[in-house]
Amino acid sequence: MQHVVIAGRYRLLEPVGRGGMGRVWRALDEVLHREVAVKEVLPPNWLSEPEGDELRRRTLREARTAARLRHPNVVRVYDVVPVDGDPWIVMEYVPSRTLQDVLNDEGPLDPARAAGVGRALLAALRAAHAANVLHRDVKPQNVLVTRDGQIMLTDFGLATFEGEDGILTRPGMVLGSPQFVAPERAAEGVSSVETDLWSLGATLYAAVEGRPPYARGSAVATLAALATD
């Protein structure tokens, strides 16, 4: 899809990331002549058709809500556009590494540096929660570290599917990042300010210890540990 233009204005230049819910492209906004990041949101193929449609609708709605956020520690959402039925989220492009990349390359952070990361992320979440926006997936992969050390939280506006069975919507399948999911969300599928803050705490634990607090050999084992340990 490289160099394809979507929504009549965003030219895809190169893929810069991929996750369980889609992939991220560096792109050029040909109307405003600026680089942007564009996330192609792809519902997991194990969701039923009604569940996939609901996820698309929620992603459009939540991305539009997240676009109201203005904070120096939050990656801005500029636009959300449907392409062939799937939502694409257009965001501020931030040349950076993820916190997970930093941990992989340099090892755990010293306490002072981790405290700085924590202050920045807490400020980002405080601004989001004041605007009635939940993140739902705070983790080192969603924390950006710029060349000059600025900390930014990304992936606001990405809805999760929380059905009657919670995060587990298929046997053995987990939508989200179980190592950083709060116990009540793992058990009941309920997101809140408190579950965002729990995920922040788990992220900071990983930053200083080099591993998540509840990492196990599989996603299901991790969720079991959250429920019982």
Express each pLDDT in 105-133 by its tens digit: 999 999 999 999 999 999 999 999 998 88
Express each pLDDT in 174-227 by its tens digit: 445 788 988 887 777 778 999 999 999 999 999 999 999 887 777 677 777 776
Give the start-to-end residue ranges of the domains of the chain.
5-92, 96-228
Q: What is the pLDDT of residue 44?
A: 75
Fold of 96-228: Transferase(Phosphotransferase); domain 1 (1.10.510)
Q: What is the pLDDT of residue 45?
A: 78
Express each pLDDT in 138-172 by its tens digit: 999 999 999 999 999 998 766 554 443 333 334 33
Q: What is the pLDDT of residue 178?
A: 81
Fold of 5-92: Phosphorylase Kinase; domain 1 (3.30.200)
In the annotation, is 137 catalytic? yes
Q: What is the pLDDT of residue 153?
A: 97
Express each pLDDT in 52-88 by its tens digit: 888 888 888 888 888 889 999 999 999 999 888 888 9
* Radius of gyration, CA atoms only, the chain: 17
| Catalytic-role residue among 137, 155, 165, 196 | 137
Q: What is the pLDDT of residue 165?
A: 37
| pTM of the complete model | 0.85
Express each pLDDT in 191-203 by its tens digit: 899 999 999 999 9
Q: What is the pLDDT of residue 93?
A: 96
